[in-house]
Amino acid sequence: MYADDCQVYLNTSVEDVPLAVSKFAACVADVNAWLNACRLRLNAAKTQLLWLSLSQLLDRVDCHDVLVLGTHVTISGTTRDLGVVIRL
């Protein structure tokens, strides 16, 4: 966690993706509640999601967007983490 950047990582198997997505959404809701208690705000519109795995496993993942704090967040193929661009 940084001053303006929160990162959440989950490890899951392809079979458990629906459970991981619900755990992720609950975790983000908890982080949002904590931020609200500190008079801060999590901007769901700036949230990025990225699946990292072998391409053979990613082809089996049937989740292309996640509902985060009432906002549908599309799974991305590229993201920037501390200035480094990660591409699938």
The pair of three-digit structure tokens given for residue 46, joined into one six-digit string: 């700036």
Classified as helix, coil or strand, 62 is: coil
CA trace torsion 71, 47, 69, 38 (10° rounding): -150
Tell which wins on pLDDT, 87 or 1. 87
Domain tally, the chain: 1
Classify residue 48: in a domain, yes or no.
yes
What residue numbers bound the domain in which 66 lies? Answer: 14-87
Classify residue 35: in a domain, yes or no.
yes
Classify residue 6: in a domain, yes or no.
no
Average pLDDT of the segment spanning 4-29: 81
Please give the Cα distance from 28 to 22 (Å, whole number). 10
Classify residue 8: in a domain, yes or no.
no
pTM of full prediction above 0.75: no
Classify residue 5: in a domain, yes or no.
no
Classify residue 63: in a domain, yes or no.
yes
Q: Which pLDDT tens digit goes with each residue over 28-61?
A: 889 889 888 989 888 877 777 777 776 777 777 7
Classify residue 9: in a domain, yes or no.
no
